[in-house]
Structure 1
Amino acid sequence: MNILRKYWVAAIFVLAGMWQSCSDDDGYSIGDIASDWVTVRVEGEGVYSFTGDTWGTMFPAANGIWNYSLVEGQRAFLVFNPLFDNYYGYDVGIKAEQIYPFLTKAVEDLTPENEDEYADHPAYLENLWIGGGYLNVIFTQKRPLQYKHRVSLVKRADQPDIADDGYIHLEYRYNTYGDTLGGLNLNPGVVCYNLNTLPLDKAKGIKLKVNEAYYGEHILTFDNMNEPIPDDAKHLYDAGKEVKMQ
């Protein structure tokens, strides 16, 4: 009965969208295409809304994609047709056109006992920024032959949440498991780390230790906890495809 009720709620939203006009006064037309980095919100069985880093809260008043399965808090790149502003409590009603889910992970504790699991192999990092409550990472990698590579955001368990310098200190770890194919071809990928377990509101920002293939070990400092989406990430249609990561 609960599942049936959820479907009826979703149907009411969709039908209501059909009854509204999409005139010039609305500012949108059928065929207007936009995109955003979004966080998935599960509204019910098979019913999703999205919180966009740029567009705010979005509800699919119409749908152009079907049979996709998402989980609460998952990050994705959403291509959509905006239809209505202020849509029944949401910032905008949309028609979802394409969605590319991203690998989404939590911050993990690093201890002497598990440090070998995370390794610290040189990583090919293309862009990193904090937005939507996540550390978003665009990277490339040499494709593995058999084993999924592991990308992790870790915090040393024996360190305080906020260091003496006022920053949260984290490390980006990459484990290839010794399984990489040769050649110069690098495959793109994205991973997003949920930062909701960290006291961001009490810290100056985040200092991230990385080991980059081109630049070696160094520290990246993030003072802005809600950065705009970088230009090279605004049209990232293919980076969500599987590249054997965990």
Structure 2
Amino acid sequence: MPGFCIFHTEINKKTLIMRKLHWLFMAVCLAVMPVLQSCDDNDGYSIGDFTPPLWATVRVTGNAFYLDCDVWGTLWPVNTDLGWYEPVDGKRVITMFNPLSDGFDGYDHAVKLLSLQDVLTKEVETLTPETEEEFGNDPVLIFKGDIGISGGYMNIVFMQNLPSKTKHRISLVRPQDDADLYGEDGYIHLELRYNNYEDLTGLRDYGAVSYNLNSLDVTSETKGMKLKLNSEVNGEVELVFDIVAADDNTKDVRNLDLSKMRLK
């Protein structure tokens, strides 16, 4: 899947006020985080080196698993205390790790995982008259820059208005007709749909979802992707993602706590 980058978003700037704690966190991390050695540095890594939160995909092999990180490539975890984790092949995660060595037994790096958090992982679904009601189109609060595409996935972080009982549904949908999906403008046309089932508590916490884009047919003539969504702040908006030559288009993510997320 070619890389994408955000070309334009229309999320209102005033919502950025809510992110002051995030920027403070990042500033502190930059102040205390040792500079990671490059992959070509023969001096290796220090036990104190650690990465910021990064997107990765779980790959199961036999009775073990490794991570395919959007930035660092394949990672073999050497932890001996991961018995609690139940890997699911293709599951997206947000991880932080201590790189230990390069070129380890056929993997790009050997690492010690410092944190590993599963993220709801879904496929692109088809919007039809029959599924319109189930997908819904309720507004969702997404901060500017919190939608990114990397590793063949669309990654979305948002502020969920938590439900009391019913899990909310968040879906990335495509038109039923291929002619509408692959528009004459050279862009792939998708929609983000949200159904809160009218179950809202007014309590907010982070939600995250990652969509597998590999079912989409991207050719040399594809200019990028256009995404429609119903913003709590701006109403119906369309975001544009342009294809670029670079292959690293991950969006920095905060160290999220997704334990209160209620999504399907």
TM-score, normalised to structure 2, is 0.77
Aligned to 1:169: 189
1:122 partner letter = P
Query: Are the counterparts in 2 of residues 64 and 97 from structure 1 also a CA contact under 8 Å?
Result: no
Aligned residues: 217
Alpha-carbon distance between aligned partners in 2 of 1:224 and 1:77, rounded to the nearest angstrom: 24
Say which is worse superposed, 195-204 or 47-56, in terms of deviation: 195-204
Residue of 198, 211, 232 corresponding to 1:213: 232
Structure ranking higher on relative contact order (CA contacts 8 Å, 6+ apart): 2
Is 1:116 matched up with 2:133? yes
Is 1:62 matched up with 2:45? no
Residues 26 and 227 of structure 1: CA distance in aligned 2, closer, same or farther (over 3 Å): closer
Residues 79 and 64 of structure 1: CA distance in aligned 2, closer, same or farther (over 3 Å): farther
Query: Are the counterparts in 2 of residues 84 and 92 from structure 1 also a CA contact under 8 Å?
Result: yes
Find the residue that maps to 2:56 and give its secondary structure.
strand
Aligned to 1:230: 251
1:174 partner letter = Y
**Matched ranges for 1:50-89 at <5 A:** 50-89=67-106
Find the residue that maps to 1:116 and give its secondary structure.
helix
1:229 partner letter = T
Say which is worse superposed, 54-63 or 185-194, in terms of deviation: 54-63
Is 1:151 matched up with 2:174? no
Tell me which stretches of 4 or more aligned residues in structure 1 moved more than 6 Å.
none
TM-score, normalised to structure 1, is 0.83
Alpha-carbon distance between aligned partners in 1 of 2:192 and 2:142, rounded to the nearest angstrom: 10
Structure 2 stretches lacking a partner, 5+ long? 1-40
Is 1:136 matched up with 2:182? no
Residue of 184, 204, 214 corresponding to 1:196: 214
Alpha-carbon distance between aligned partners in 2 of 1:84 and 1:109, rounded to the nearest angstrom: 43
Query: Are the counterparts in 2 of residues 128 and 137 from structure 1 also a CA contact under 8 Å?
Result: yes
Find the residue that maps to 2:71 and give its secondary structure.
coil
Q: 1:64, CA displacement in angstroms?
A: 4.2
Aligned to 2:200: 180
Query: Are the counterparts in 2 of residues 50 and 58 from structure 1 also a CA contact under 8 Å?
Result: yes
2:149 partner letter = I
Find the residue that maps to 2:256 and give its secondary structure.
coil
Alpha-carbon distance between aligned partners in 1 of 2:114 and 2:82, rounded to the nearest angstrom: 6
Query: Are the counterparts in 2 of residues 65 and 98 from structure 1 also a CA contact under 8 Å?
Result: no
RMSD: 1.8
Instruction: State the percentage of identical aligned residues.
Output: 42
Find the residue that maps to 2:215 and give its secondary structure.
coil
Query: Are the counterparts in 2 of residues 64 and 96 from structure 1 also a CA contact under 8 Å?
Result: no
Alpha-carbon distance between aligned partners in 2 of 1:63 and 1:56, rounded to the nearest angstrom: 21
